[in-house]
C-alpha cells in the first residue's frame, strides 16, 4: 500500500510559536509518530511538506541583515528550508525505525517555482512568513 502524506509548513511551525528548530523538530517527530502505524503495517510512505513559515522567517532575517549587500534570493531561501525540513523528516524516520532498512532509502526532490517577468506563473493562496498588522508592516 502506498501512503502519501503532506505536511504543511504550518504543521511544523504553528502561528504564535517561537520559530526555533527544537519546536519544529518536535512537530516533525509528532507527525512521524502519527504515521508510524502505517509504516509498521508495511506501507510505502511518501512524505511531502510545505515551508511557508520557515522561508518567510529566513526572508525577513535576510532582509534585515546589515552585513549583506542584498538579501538572499527567495528561491535560494526556499531550497534551504526545503533541505532543512527534509533532513528533519528523514532523521525522525530513521530514529523511529532504527532497524528498518527501507527507511534508510531516501531521496530529496526540490521543486522550484518558475518566475517570468517578476511574476509567479502559479497563483499562491497560502501566506508566507509571519503575519503583521498593517500599521506594523508599513
Query: Which CATH number covers residue 45?
Result: 3.40.1160.10
Q: Is residue 32 part of a domain?
A: yes
At 115, the pLDDT band (50, 70, 90 cuts) reads very low
Instruction: Return the exposure string of 17-26: e unless at least 16 CB atoms fall within 10 Å of the residue's CB, then b.
Output: eeeeeeebbe
d(CA 107, CA 117): 32
Predicted TM-score (pTM) of the model is 0.77
> How many structural domains are present in the chain?
1
Q: Is residue 82 part of a domain?
A: yes
Q: Is residue 114 part of a domain?
A: no
Please say if the pLDDT value at position 33 is more than 90. Answer: yes
Domain residue limits at 18: 2-107+127-132
Average pLDDT, whole number, for the chain?
A: 80
Q: Is residue 138 part of a domain?
A: no
pLDDT in tens, 53-93: 999 999 999 999 999 999 999 989 998 999 999 889 989 98
Cell of 66: 546589515
Pairing between β-strand 2-7 and β-strand 115-116 as defined by DSSP bridges: unpaired
Please say if the pLDDT value at position 51 is more than 70. Answer: yes
Q: Which residue has the higher pLDDT, 91 or 100?
A: 91
Q: Is residue 113 part of a domain?
A: no
Amino acid at each position: 500500500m502506498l501512503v502519501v502524506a503532506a505536511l504543511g509548513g504550518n504543521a511544523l511551525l504553528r502561528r504564535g510559536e517561537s520559530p526555533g528548530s527544537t519546536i519544529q523538530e518536535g512537530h516533525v517527530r509528532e507527525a512521524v509518530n502519527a504515521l508510524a502505524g502505517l509504516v509498521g503495517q508495511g506501507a510505502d510512505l511518501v512524505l511531502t511538506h510545505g515551508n511557508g513559515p520557515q522561508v518567510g522567517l529566513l526572508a525577513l532575517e535576510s532582509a534585515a541583515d546589515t552585513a549583506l549587500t542584498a538579501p538572499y534570493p527567495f528561491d535560494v531561501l526556499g531550497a534551504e528550508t526545503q533541505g532543512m525540513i527534509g533532513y528533519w523528516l528523514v532523521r525522525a524516520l530513521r530514529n523511529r525505525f532504527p532497524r528498518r532498512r527501507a527507511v534508510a532509502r531516501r531521496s530529496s526532490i526540490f521543486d522550484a517555482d518558475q518566475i517570468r517577468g517578476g511574476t509567479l506563473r502559479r497563483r499562491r493562496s497560502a501566506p508566507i512568513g509571519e503575519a503583521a498588522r498593517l500599521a506594523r508592516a508599513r
